[in-house]
């Protein structure tokens, strides 16, 4: 056996217990001591290794999206969009690409109930022939903030009070009262879709604006949408209490049971596209992540289907160590100037290097399945076998060369260095349109939820008044509070 090609696997377990180094262990229940009752010796290598490994079994919990579960399957192109993008995995109908998908809640800890009212993560890793494409999204098409510099603050506000370790809405409403752009996201959070019945019955959205690039070099803005073929189902507040009380992992169990029974979850992928030349024709900024693109103007176009037909083999390896990064794109798909996306391109990779180490992309679940090569080497947890002598570029001794250039956007920029808010904020129109599109009973449930959290004793009259002003006289009449704006 070539030891350099061997990879550890439980499929090759020895018939007896060993140390990590492979040495046989003759006693796995007693420490090495001086005599029967003497002190334990530090030279008991197996004891030290066993305990040291145990105390390091947990990697740092994700700051957000800690509670999650993954499943594997494939993405299949069903409609020809080769005129819109040169992405190889979208080259023709019938092309299939292996994927792994992670569903999650955003705010709460890893052991929290899956029935919490919260945004759900919907992240898809495509293992394409040109590298990995990570489409990291949510079950809402918008987010609370539009600039990445605000992300630590919004998460701190949503997380538990650092003094009491209790999530308290007075803190959330205090912070968000300064962000009227958050209203549209609240129209998803506190709507009936705020608690999905399970992961199979919820939508997914890429949230951000990306760009598609055709072979001709033509660039289009694009948004991605996942639509479940089995429909959208949600839990009422009362149902969530019952379901969560009975099983805090109900959505994980549902996903596992569905796949195990052959009832494979499936979503249709749709895109919206926009010519960048039309960017200024709207009353909002199309790159503002707190806004949606109207489907009556920019209709959904079908692309393909996502099928999950395999459960994960190991939770730690394929959920806890599964690492997504919006910076991972492939030729034919690129970023836009979306300010939140621009920040996430750096932040996610930096987060994974903190949680899992600089070589997190060598882990099997994260590694690309195509041939790849660079001179990044060594560092913590590096298990890439290398026998070459040249680890620099260029070199006369190494024939490796740069890849052929792929099309990328050719935007040119002029302007002064500045920190500013985008000009077309238009924070209220889309939120109002969504609210008015609901049936009266759905509106009432939405208002009832807001009445409840706005009644918190620690909310000041000023903060409550701001939210009343945001949401309308209907809330004001129920709370017997007059708007302050």
| Residue positions annotated with a catalytic role | 65, 138
348 annotated to a ligand binding site: yes
Other CB atoms within 10 A of residue 46 CB: 18
Q: Using the 8-state DSSP alphabet, how is residue 261 labeled?
A: T
Cβ contact 101:308 at 8 Å: yes
Nearest to 158 by CA among 201, 117, 197: 117
Helices (H) and strands (E) in the chain, counts: 12, 10
8 Å CB contact between 175 and 154: yes
In the numeric block, the tokens 């005129």 are attached to 83
Alpha-carbon distance 129 to 373, whole Å?
14
CB 283 within 8 A of CB 245: no
What is the sign, positive or negative, of the torsion defined by CA atoms of 114, 68, 144, 208?
Answer: negative
Q: Rounded CA gap, 154 and 172, in Å?
A: 8
Output the six-digit token pair for 420: 């500013």
**Cβ-Cβ contacts under 8 Å for 309 (sequence gap 6 or more):** 72, 73, 74, 259, 264
CA distances from 182 to 189, 204, 287, 467 (A): 10, 19, 15, 11
**Contacts from 398-401 at CB under 8 Å and sequence distance 24+?**
400/373
Tokens of 239: 């149902």
Q: What whole-number distance in Å separates Cα of residue 355 and Cα of residue 339?
A: 24
Residue 137 and residue 120: Cα distance in Å, rounded? Answer: 9
Q: What 3-state class would DSSP assign to 301?
A: strand
* Bind-site residues for heme: 348
* Bind-site residues: 348
């Amino acid at each position: 056996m070539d030891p350099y090609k061997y990879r550890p696997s439980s499929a090759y377990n020895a018939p007896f217990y060993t140390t990590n180094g492979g040495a046989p262990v003759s006693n796995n229940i007693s420490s090495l001591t001086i005599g029967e009752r003497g002190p334990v010796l530090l030279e008991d290598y197996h004891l030290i290794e066993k305990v040291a490994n145990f105390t390091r079994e947990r990697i740092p919990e994700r700051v957000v999206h800690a509670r999650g579960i993954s499943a594997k399957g494939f993405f299949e192109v069903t409609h020809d969009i080769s005129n819109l993008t040169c992405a190889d995995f979208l080259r023709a109908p019938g092309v299939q690409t292996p994927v792994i998908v992670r569903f999650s809640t955003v705010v709460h800890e890893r052991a929290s109930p899956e029935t919490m009212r919260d945004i759900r993560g919907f992240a898809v890793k495509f293992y394409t022939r040109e590298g990995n494409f990570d489409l990291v999204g949510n079950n809402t098409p918008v987010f609370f903030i539009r600039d990445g510099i605000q992300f630590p603050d919004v998460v701190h506000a949503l997380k538990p009070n650092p003094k009491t370790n209790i999530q308290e809405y007075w803190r959330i409403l205090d912070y968000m009262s300064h962000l009227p752009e958050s209203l549209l996201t609240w129209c998803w959070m506190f709507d009936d879709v705020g608690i999905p019945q399970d992961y199979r019955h919820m939508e997914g959205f890429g949230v951000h604006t990306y760009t598609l690039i055709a072979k001709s070099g033509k660039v289009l803005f694009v948004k991605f949408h996942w639509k479940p073929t089995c429909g959208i189902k949600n839990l009422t507040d009362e149902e969530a209490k019952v379901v969560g009380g009975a099983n805090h992992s109900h959505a994980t169990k549902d996903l596992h049971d569905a796949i195990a029974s052959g009832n494979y979850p499936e979503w249709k992928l749709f895109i919206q596209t926009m010519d960048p030349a039309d960017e200024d024709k709207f009353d909002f900024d199309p790159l503002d992540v707190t806004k949606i693109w109207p489907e009556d103007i920019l209709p959904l176009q079908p692309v393909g289907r996502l099928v999950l037909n395999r459960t994960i083999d190991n939770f730690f390896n394929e959920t806890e160590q599964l690492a997504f990064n919006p910076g991972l794109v492939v030729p034919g798909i690129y970023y836009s100037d979306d300010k939140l996306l621009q920040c996430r391109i750096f932040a996610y990779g930096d987060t994974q290097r903190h949680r899992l180490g600089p070589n997190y992309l060598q882990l099997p679940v994260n590694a690309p399945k195509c041939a790849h090569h660079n001179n990044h080497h060594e560092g913590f947890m590096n298990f890439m076998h290398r026998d070459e002598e040249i680890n620099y570029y260029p070199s006369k001794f190494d024939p490796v060369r740069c890849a052929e250039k792929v099309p990328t956007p050719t935007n040119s920029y002029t302007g002064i260095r500045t920190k500013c808010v985008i000009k077309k904020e238009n924070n209220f129109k889309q939120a109002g349109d969504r609210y008015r599109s609901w049936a009266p009973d759905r509106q009432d449930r939405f208002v009832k939820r807001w009445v409840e959290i706005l009644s918190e004793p620690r909310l000041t009259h000023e903060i409550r008044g701001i939210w009343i002003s945001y949401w309308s006289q209907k809330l004001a009449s129920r709370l017997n509070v007059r708007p302050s704006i």
